Amino acid sequence: MTIILTRPRGQNAKLARRLEAFGDKVVCCPLVSIEPLGDEPIDVSGYDWVIVTSVNGARELRRRMLGRPRRVAAIGRATADAFGGADLVPAVSTQEGLLRELPRPTGRVLFAGAEAARRLLIEELNADFVPLYRTHELAPDEPVHGDLVVLASPSAARAFSALKLNIPAITIGPETSAEARLGGVRVVREARTHDLDGLVSAVVSASR
């Protein structure tokens, strides 16, 4: 079984090792690149909640952060771990899922994420927004061949759907699944937990 991994360059190694331990062949084909949008410090000390929605956003905010917010909410356990922990990780790893579980009133909120992130939480919570990185969708230099593709973000799903390949997909969560299906990609498994363990379990389940 050949598994295609599509995360940004340098972010596929842990998943590749886990899958190779099951005897799978792994092909790394980054379909997304991440461009940080600055180095200046971000003071979070005046916020009641800071919200991070991706591993890349969590890492960038942690790198640039001054002070500590009262509480942190993260979409997905992997995002929480990348930030160093979170007070709230919703059961459903979407902005809608987080919105349902945030206690009210929320007070002053900072949303820190991708430049092109969905604005649902920003608008519903009247949150301040700081763009931390820009996502670029990539086209591979060589033809892509494999039995399954792993899609770990909506942007990767869009980039893969543009290739018009008849390769079924494993996705990390509902938003990625929705984006993949919108582009005509057949989603055969969605990770039950939106982290490394969830992706490994989904791939093993689909390929055995």
129 or 206, which is more confident? 129
Rounded CA separation 55/113 (Å): 9
Give the mean pLDDT of the chain: 94
**Cis bond upstream, residue 90 (ω within 30):** no
DSSP 188-206: EEE-SSSSHHHHHHHHHHH
pLDDT value of position 195: 81
Rounded CA separation 197/195 (Å): 6
Mean pLDDT, residues 167-196: 93
pLDDT value of position 93: 85
* pLDDT classification of 94: cutoffs 50, 70, 90: confident
Tens of pLDDT, residues 75-92: 988 899 999 999 999 998
pLDDT value of position 202: 93
Is the confidence at residue 111, as pLDDT, over 80? yes
pLDDT value of position 133: 97
pLDDT value of position 141: 86
pLDDT value of position 193: 82
Pairing of strands 2-5, 148-151: parallel
pLDDT value of position 184: 97
DSSP 146-175: -SEEEE-SHHHHHHHHTT-----EEESSHH
Residue 203 makes CB contacts below 8 A (sequence gap 6+) with: 3, 19, 24, 148, 150, 170, 189
pLDDT value of position 151: 97
Q: What is the DSSP letter of 111?
A: E
Rounded CA separation 38/133 (Å): 8
Rounded CA separation 171/158 (Å): 12
Mean pLDDT, residues 125-135: 97
With 0-12 / 13-18 / 19 or more C-beta atoms within 10 angstroms meaning exposed / middle / buried, residue 34 is buried
Output the pTM of the full model.
0.87
* Per-range mean pLDDT, top range of 128-132, 142-146, 195-199: 128-132
3-state secondary structure 34-63: EEECCCCCEECCCCCEEEECCHHHHHHHHH
For 79, the enclosing helix (H) or strand (E) is: helix 77-83
* 113 alpha-carbon distance from chain centroid: 11
